[in-house]
Structures are given as C-alpha cells and as structure tokens.
A = this chain, B = another copy of it.
Amino acid sequence: MPEVTNGRVLFKSIPEGYPVPGENIVYDTSEKIDLDNVPLNGGILLKTLEVSVDPYMRGRMRDASIESYVDAFELNESITGFGVAVIVRSESSEVKEGDYVSGMIQYQNYSIVKDLKSTNLSKFVHSEKLPLSTYIGVLGMPGKTAFMAWKEYSKSKKGETAFVSTGAGPVGSLVIQLAKMDGLKVIGSAGSADKVQFMKECGADVAFNYKEENVADVLKREGPIDIYWDNVGGETLEAALDASRLNGRFIECGMISEYNSKEGAPIRNLYQTIAKSLSIHGFIQWRLEAKHNEDFYKTIPPLVANGTIKHQEQVFHGLDKVGDVILAVQKGENTAKAVVHVADE
C-alpha cells in the first residue's frame, strides 16, 4: 500500500472566548503515513472511526502552564478526546487486527500507541445491534457520566423532584431516564423545541425551553426540587439553589456558561447551601470508573439494545469538520450528542 494522507485536527492557538475554526483549531493534511511499513516498536496502529465532540474540550484550549483537571491540548499537535477505533496492525498481545477499542484517542486518521493502558483505551465487544457511534454516546463517556454520578450522589427517593439542565444532551437525557426509573418527578431544560420534545420522549414530566421560559419561574411553579443535575452553572444554578428543598443534592457535572467567559458566571446565593443544608458534589467521570464500570455495562447496554433507553446522536462527517462542531457545541447549536464519523471500517 502506498502512503496515505493522515489528516489531523491540530490545536494551533489559544482562543479568547469562543474557539475559531481554521484559526485555533485547524485541519491539516500535510502528514503522510505508510500503513504497512510504519514502525510500531511493539505498539499498535489504530484507524479512527468515530470521535466525540464535547463541551469540556473548551477547557483544554488553554495555556499548558495553567493546571486543571484535564491536560491542556498541546500546541501544534492533534487534539485528543473520546473516540472509537479499529486495530490496523498490532505488535502488542493486548489486541489483534480488527479489534475495536474506545477511549482517549488522537483526532487524526491513524495513530500509533504504545499500549492500551497508558493511553486510557479499552477493547470492547461490538454488539451487532448497536452502531459504533453508540460507543461515543450513551455507551461511552456521556452515558457513564450520567449513570455513575447518579448512582454515587443522587440519593434519590421515590416521589422526589429532580431538575436536569441540558436535559436533551447525551448526559442529561440519560439522567432524566434514570430519575424516572427511580420514581421521581423530573423537570428538564434545554434550548430548542426539538430538544424539549426529546426530553418528553425520555419521560420528563416538565420539559421547557430556557430561551422562552425563565428557569426561576418554572422552578417556582414546578418545584421545589430535591436534586439538581447541573450542566450549565451560572444563573440556572442560582435559580436551582433558590428552588431547592431542605437537604437538596446538587450534582455538578458541567458549567458551560463559565467556559467562554473570562469572569466566569458568578454564583451570588451560595448561602442557600447553609440555609437549606445542601450538599454539592463535583465529579469527573473517570474518577468514578473503577467503582461503577461493571454495574454500568451490566445495566445500560441491554436497555439501549431493547429500546428502553432512548438516545440521540447528531452525526457529522469528516475530521475536517471537527473545528466547526466544537464551536457549535460551545454555542449549544447541535441538536443532539455530537459525533464525527471519521471513516468506515
């Protein structure tokens, strides 16, 4: 096989505010790769099939000297994130040609890794019923995020009320369904009529468009709440603090309203934590992985395969679109969990 182009999604510069495709995130085709002969040195050659685009990626587009919970992207290198790949060649005993892996991968057509463990990749069995993109969404990081933190922190009791922001997203929509399974009343917010419709299909008792209805008003009418699943922070979090019952549990999954603002989105009523004996739990999914992974794979894939759990993906095509998709996700313009289909097997 002659050399082929190894398209790469490069981090070229640090954005101020929203990331600019073609400037901060640049698709590059200058690298070539000889798939048959490139030396693996005992490692594994991967072909990228699907990659995920997620809100938290904005936080990685920073000066690497600023510490945070995830590494900064490296300037002039491919960005990394959650993806699915198939093994092209392997000199490792861990995997063989044709095996599927998911986990942290470089956003380029082909990449060579030393082994699975040091790169946070794991092999998975591809059930024929489920498309590969499912392993980016409801069976990937977003699905694990929802399941593991709900199990760990919600302390949900039948008859309670939960509020879920970004309730049509890949995480929020599963949270809504988990809360309904636990017998809760569920209020979901999202930013479009389609998303409101999807939240209703997921079983939300109250689903509203926060661009049309004021969150505080809705919570005053439909609350008080016992659990708040936060994906946005800012004013929505303030409204939830005001609308919480005594002993409310707040699960902090994301604060997208803070990510593109230098000043952050200040919270002015944190004294409600005292007034109402609230608990706030921040978390990162992979820190819960060891404790809940087995339970996740036992519980969720069968419910997805038999259609009990609903999920949605918006599939984009081609690595060259990743920059645009990143921006769309930061602005909330995607209609569902954003997946970029990179290549067929």
C-alpha spacing A263/B255, complex, angstroms? 21
For residue A96, CB closer than 8 A to chain B, the reply is: no
Nearest CB on B from A173, distance (A): 20
Nearest CB on B from A244, distance (A): 10
C-alpha spacing A264/B270, complex, angstroms? 9
Interface residue stretch chosen among A13-21, A281-289, A309-317 = A281-289
Nearest CB on B from A114, distance (A): 26
Chain B contacts for A276, CB-based, 8 A = 69, 282
With A266-B266, A266-B268 as contacts: A282 and B273 at CB distance below 8 Å: yes
C-alpha spacing A279/B264, complex, angstroms? 20
C-alpha spacing A269/B262, complex, angstroms? 11
Q: Verify B282–A279 contact, CB threshold 8 A.
A: yes
Q: Verify A69–B252 contact, CB threshold 8 A.
A: no
C-alpha spacing A157/B17, complex, angstroms? 41
For residue A92, CB closer than 8 A to chain B, the reply is: no
| Complex partner residue of A271 from B255, B271, B277, CB under 8 angstroms | B255
Q: Verify A69–B274 contact, CB threshold 8 A.
A: yes
Chain B contacts for A282, CB-based, 8 A = 272-279
With A263-B268, A266-B267 as contacts: A68 and B275 at CB distance below 8 Å: yes
Chain B contacts for A280, CB-based, 8 A = 273, 278-281
Q: Verify A274–B268 contact, CB threshold 8 A.
A: no
Chain B contacts for A252, CB-based, 8 A = 270, 273-274
Nearest CB to that of A261 among chain B residues?
A: B268
For residue A99, CB closer than 8 A to chain B, the reply is: no
Number of interface residues of A (CB under 8 A): 32
Chain B contacts for A273, CB-based, 8 A = 252, 280-282
C-alpha spacing A269/B272, complex, angstroms? 17
For residue A7, CB closer than 8 A to chain B, the reply is: no
Nearest CB on B from A75, distance (A): 21
Interface string of A229-269 (1 = CB under 8 A from B): 00001000100000000000000111100100001111111
Q: Name A279-306 residues within 8 Å CB distance of B.
A: 279-284, 287
Q: Name A106-145 residues within 8 Å CB distance of B.
A: none
Q: Verify A274–B287 contact, CB threshold 8 A.
A: no
Nearest CB on B from A218, distance (A): 19
C-alpha spacing A252/B276, complex, angstroms? 11
With A233-B270, A255-B270, A263-B268 as contacts: A69 and B275 at CB distance below 8 Å: yes
With A264-B268, A264-B269, A266-B268 as contacts: A283 and B274 at CB distance below 8 Å: yes
Q: Verify B277–A279 contact, CB threshold 8 A.
A: no
Binding site for B on A (CB under 8 A): 68-69, 233, 237, 252-255, 258, 263-284, 287
11 residue pairs A–B, Cβ–Cβ below 8 Å: A69-B274, A233-B270, A233-B271, A252-B273, A265-B268, A273-B282, A275-B282, A275-B284, A277-B283, A278-B280, A279-B282
